[in-house]
Amino acid sequence: MKRPTINRLRFLGALSIAALLSACAPDKQTDANKKEETGINTEQTKSTAQAPPLIDRQLLFGNPSRFQGRLSPDGKMMSFRAPLNGVMNLWVAPAGDIDSAKPVTRDTGRGIPSHFWALDSRHLLYIRDRDGDENWHLYAVDLDNNKITDLSPFDGVQAQMVAQSETHPGTVIVGMNDRDPRWHDLYKVDLKTAGRELLQENDGFAQFFLDHDLKLRLATESTPSGGYRVYEFADDDWLEVFEVDFEDALTTHILGFDGDNTGFYMLDSRGRDKAALVHYALDSGHKVVIAESNKADIANVLMHPRRHLPIAYAINFETNAWIPLDGAYTEDLATLEKQVRGDFNILGSTLDASQWVLYTDSAAAAPRYQVFDTRDNTLSTLFTTHPKLATLPLAKMYPLVLSARDGRDLVSYLTLPADLDQGGSLAAPIPMVLLVHGGPWGRDSFGFDPEAQWLANRGYAVLQVNFRASTGFGKGFVNAGNGEWAGAMHNDLVDAVDWAIAEGIASPDEVAIMGASYGGYATLVGLTFTPEKFACGVDVVGPSSLNTLISSIPPYWESFRSTLHAAVGNPDTEEGRKLLTERSPLHRADKIVRPLLIGQGANDPRVKQAESDQIVAAMKAREIPVTYILYPDEGHGFQKPENRLSFFAAAEAFLSDCLGGRYQPFGDDLKGSSVQVVHGATFIPGLQRALMNSKILATNTVEDTDE
């Protein structure tokens, strides 16, 4: 999930609603006009006189120059996403010759979010939905003629890429839920014609696994307790292999088959706290632990694409570290680590494992996509994602481990304004923004973060906390969040804020909370369960009611329903319904005494528009100020750069009014956006004026062409 901001109004005693509204209206607007001209909060002029120049929002939230670098499996070609007429499209070039790159797609809507290569090195595959509805279609680009084929040409259907094999070129295995929206049937699909052949009709399996000959071998099925069972397809029947209990369900996953298709690799937390890399032999049921750590779960595994053996694995506690498994690559990894600046992740390799594609990141510089050649141990750069940031004063990120009130370690990250940073500390407290990650089954990691850089450049300390239920730190840490939405999970965030105040990082009355998805929910919790703790909050696509959230999950989440009930609350029981109601910010909307900004995508299938509508309605009914921004062509988060820019422009003005930080004028940042301010434009300085000065038209996605 993600992040956002608002104005520090205090509701004191019997303060009248008229006085409350006036605090955001005419007088505020006069000061906002000064800000619009100068780009600086006039109350902060003295403290910001020596601050570095404002980094233009366009450089952080607009399209990157290039992104998502890939090598073809044979190593001869490279691909990446880059703007074409302002929209992220796919480009291809001979490996190492980026200047000759040409676009192979011409999307004119929200852009292409993700792509990968077919193992035949002739086809490029990508996914795309319609205006954020997450009904992903899978497309193939034939690089011989640049013809684009929709491999799942059915309206309202979600496609899932399941498998491919080097020994079956021109074929992919795809799941599609056109027969029953809850379950994805399994099809063999031809890359050229999109012709499909049914392999398995699905009436309850969550996942399928095929071996390297594309034979269907394994499937998983959810259990009522929230765990799952693994089945093997043998003798024309599904036979149970083993069961994974609920406590291991989020930390135990099958990775894929071994080289001779007789067993498989998995990340397995059963019988231990941290997920280990394990090999499971199907004939005997024998398990061998290949690698494990007492610090964190194994985060990633680099497999040899042809031999199907693990080459190395990664552990990500505070930062990412790679450890070799295959002795032939030990020296390669050691040499690579000496050459890389900052953290790195190995995204994949060519089929012969001779070239590895890396994402390298020092947090205080734009990330790079690089290629490490194991044949001569050379490291070359494909491209830098944001080259215009190279000369700008980016802030450092500091990993740290905080203690929750019950003693649990909370791996966190602190980013400070470059001009005030004294090696991770400050001479005096400053305003702070608590950025809360989504999921909640995800995590914050060390690395370049556009939002953290943006906020630090505007004069704020930025704290990101891996609260309990975050993944990567063992099943005990994940399961400590069960039943603790708005409970211990929120306490972890409060404890982190208290640490920042005690350390002289944050001013007690100048801390904002913002986030998206679960982070948006955490923002609403912060303003309703601890209403005096935060000066303001920014919520993007955050659920306001856990009851309606769970009752409206997409049909294709059916296999995850029991896990969701076990982790959050079960609406089928009286106790569960009571818990969900008690932990829903909607039912505490009358407690809000701080400004709130809400951003929502109208097509969000996970956190539906109703989640934002209903809390805004509750606040309006109680005459509590709130600003509500809606995007009719977005889903779970904002993908279009025009929409991102418009929202972060509003959030920046909101935060400046709330915390007193620096503020870049709106300028043209609403241009081309579909932004709709449903309520409360006057509560954000400069927003109403920017809307009046811009021609705001709702945009719709234009379909792909095969040109």
Does the annotation mark 168 as catalytic?
no
Q: Cβ atoms within 10 A of the Cβ of 27, count?
A: 10
- In 3D space, the residue among 642, 615, 620 whose CA is nearest the CA of residue 631 turns out to be 642
Cα–Cα dist 566/549, whole Å = 15
CB proximity list for 79: less than 8 A, separation 6 or greater? 69, 70, 72, 90, 91, 92, 93, 115, 117, 124
Q: Does residue 362 have an active-site annotation?
A: no
Residue with tokens 């509003």: 650
- From 490, 565, 636, 669, the catalytic residue: 636
Out of 121, 362, 517, 545, the active site residue is 517
Residue located via tokens 């991770």: 424
- Tokens 């909060």 belong to 41
Alpha-carbon distance of 139 to 124, in angstroms, equals 8
Among 268, 297, 604, 633, the one annotated catalytic:
604
As a whole number of angstroms, the distance between CA 342 and CA 62 comes to: 24
Write down the H helix ranges in 469-582.
475-479, 488-502, 518-529, 546-551, 561-568, 574-582
Burial of 428-456, coded b for 16+ CB within 10 Å and e otherwise, reads ebbbbbbbbbbbbbbbbbbbbbbbbbbbb
CA 554/CA 550 separation, integer angstroms: 9
Which residues, other chains included, contact 693 with Cβ-Cβ below 8 Å and sequence gap of 6+?
A: none
Residue 47, burial from CB neighbour count under 10 angstroms (0-12, 13-18, 19+): middle
Contacts of 72 (CB under 8 A, 6+ apart): 78, 79, 95, 117, 121, 350
604 given a catalytic annotation: yes
Joined tokens for residue 515:
């986030």
In angstroms, the CA 38 to CA 42 distance is 8
Query: What is the Rg, in whole angstroms, of the alpha carbon atoms belonging to the chain?
Result: 25
Residue 452 phi, psi (nearest 5): -65, -40
Residue for token pair 């490996």: 95
Give the rounded distance of the alpha carbon of 531 from its chain centre.
Answer: 27
Helix (H) or strand (E) holding 412: strand 409-415
Active site residues: 517, 604, 636
